[in-house]
Amino acid sequence: MIHEEAVQPSGDAHDLLSASEGTETQAAFEAPLRGVLSPLAMRNLTLKNRVLRSSISGRFDHEDGTPTQTRLNWETLSAEGGVGAIITSYVPVLMSGRIIAGYATIHEDRLIEPWSDIARAVHNYGTKMIMQLSHSGRQMDVPGVQNLHQSTLSSTDRPESLHGFPTRAMTISEIEHMVHAFARAAWRAREAGMDGVELHAANGYLFSQFLSSGINDRRDRYGGSLFNRARFLLDVIRAIRAEVGSSFHLQVKLSAIDLNDVIPGERRGNSLDESIEVARWVETAGADALHVSIGSLFPHPLNPPGDFAFNTIASTYDAMLSSGEHTFRNYLFFRYPTLRPLFALLWNRMKRGRPVEGVSAAEALAIKRAVGIPVISTGGWQTRSAIDSRIEAGHFDAVAIARGLIANPDLVRHWEAGLEVPPRPCTHCNKCLLNAPKNPLGCYEPSRFDGDPDRMIEAIMRIYRVSSELVVPHE
């Protein structure tokens, strides 16, 4: 049993909201709900607004995959702030699929109970909860003891391109076992009280390793043509529908464009037209919504968009040095200022001409025009008018936000108060992401705390405030 402890908004946001409570209440009463604040009705799920906390995680959990009080605090933080739904942090369906040790899983029935505590806590705020079912494939940053010295599973024998994580191509029987694992994980999510599941088929994880022509080099029925490369994902969707029926919400996160050649020597991967075709097949197979991202690896210059904080990654990347054959090379680029411009030149070349906020909005629109189910756009969103105008124009139906809600968990409250952006908006510095392999998850941009490190650490550590009571066996 996880015992819930409320986590309060950061001091600055809490003070601002409290000071203007009367004005906000009046504004909310007078202004009809529109755009991003209006409800969203999908086939099997209705959200109170069109903001989904996107999946992002820290090392919150036990080594055996059991969620903790810190996990509950994290998943409820943005629910308290008013979002319509929480997409859980990346949840592996097997222990072989963890990105980083310390992430909660859903690979065994014993995990239903702790996840049900978390779902109940999120529901207390009128927020829906969608579990993101995932497998790292070859994109495993920190293996942990269960995966130590083992090659990761993938569509290919070729190592992951950025870090050089070792991998091997899955056999047909392993693919069939994986399909079953996803279906059972969806059943466990439903039994835990989740309102739906999301398949993470984007950003370089296992599904995209099969989907992408830049990665998948198989010669069997799971490789070659676009339909063959999509077969694994479609098999999983159909298996989930057979396991939980047609009335349980199921959405799929896709990369609209791979841009896999961000790493020199790699093939470009899937085009937008190919992803549109996959989106149509996914809808036909039984998906209720699509979540549109970009990029065939994570991180990618366009996901998450924004800056690359060299000083931050130079101090945290050593946690990954033993994981891949390219990690030492990368560490030299990050550690030494004379080498950083070369990495920046290669990394940033795909950003030209693209905004940070709404980096893949055009791709979301293209997919929206091709399907009949709701489309969720992700990519740096935090300005209400920018989101409202696109929702009202039919470009997409909702937004998924991660970094903007790390910076301001009560972002929705600011919009409800009539603000375009919060007083201290996310700077898209990406220090939250680059700290994650080694340090607690949170906002590490000092300018948002007026340069006060104590306030910054206090905000980061708020979700880690748990009961200090220890349980002594046999007492």
Distance, in Å, from the CA atom of 376 to the CA atom of 292, rounded to the nearest integer, reads 6
What number is the average pLDDT over the span 184-213? 98
Query: Which carries the bigger pLDDT value, residue 18 or residue 415?
Result: 415
438 in any annotated domain: yes
> By C-alpha distance, which of 424, 468, 464 is closest to 447?
424
The 3-state DSSP class for residue 196 equals: strand
Is pLDDT at 341 greater than 70 in this prediction?
yes
Is pLDDT at 43 greater than 80 in this prediction?
yes
Is pLDDT at 152 greater than 70 in this prediction?
yes
Burial classification of residue 148, based on how many CB atoms lie within 10 Å of its CB (0-12 exposed, 13-18 middle, 19 or more buried): exposed
Structure confidence at residue 24 as a pLDDT band (50, 70, 90): very low
Structure confidence at residue 470 as a pLDDT band (50, 70, 90): low
- Between 5-19, 43-57, 294-308, 409-423, the lowest mean confidence (pLDDT) is in 5-19
pTM: 0.92
Is pLDDT at 177 greater than 90 in this prediction?
yes
**Which candidate in 90, 103, 125, 205 is catalytic?**
205
321 in any annotated domain: no
Is pLDDT at 418 greater than 80 in this prediction?
yes
Predicted pLDDT of residue 437? 85
Distance, in Å, from the CA atom of 396 to the CA atom of 275, rounded to the nearest integer, reads 16
Is pLDDT at 31 greater than 80 in this prediction?
no
Those residues with Cβ within 8 angstroms of residue 218's Cβ, 6 or more apart along the chain or in another chain: 155, 156, 169, 224, 228
Predicted pLDDT of residue 70? 94
Is pLDDT at 11 greater than 50 in this prediction?
no
433 in any annotated domain: yes
319 in any annotated domain: no
Residue for token digits 């829906």? 128
Predicted pLDDT of residue 89? 85
Is pLDDT at 384 greater than 80 in this prediction?
yes
What number is the average pLDDT over the span 265-284? 97
Those residues with Cβ within 8 angstroms of residue 266's Cβ, 6 or more apart along the chain or in another chain: 161, 214, 260
DSSP state of 47: E
Q: Cα dihedral sign for 454, 455, 461, 467?
A: positive
Predicted pLDDT of residue 17? 42
- State how many domains the chain has: 1
Structure confidence at residue 112 as a pLDDT band (50, 70, 90): very high
What percentage of residues in the chain have a pLDDT greater than 70? Answer: 92
* DSSP string of 119-135, one letter each residue: HHHHHTTT-EEEEEEE-
342 in any annotated domain: no
Judge whether 443 and 13 are in contact, CB under 8 Å. no
Q: Cα dihedral sign for 445, 456, 57, 15?
A: negative
- Between 19-23, 56-60, 147-151, 246-250, the lowest mean confidence (pLDDT) is in 19-23
Is pLDDT at 243 greater than 90 in this prediction?
yes
Predicted pLDDT of residue 148? 80
417 in any annotated domain: yes
Is pLDDT at 15 greater than 90 in this prediction?
no
Predicted pLDDT of residue 33? 80
Q: Which residues pair with 47 in a beta bridge?
A: 40
2 in any annotated domain: no
- CATH assignment of the domain containing 295: 3.20.20.70
State which residues form the domain around 72. 11-304+357-464
Average pLDDT, the chain: 92
Q: Is 222 a catalytic residue?
A: no
Is pLDDT at 466 greater than 50 in this prediction?
yes
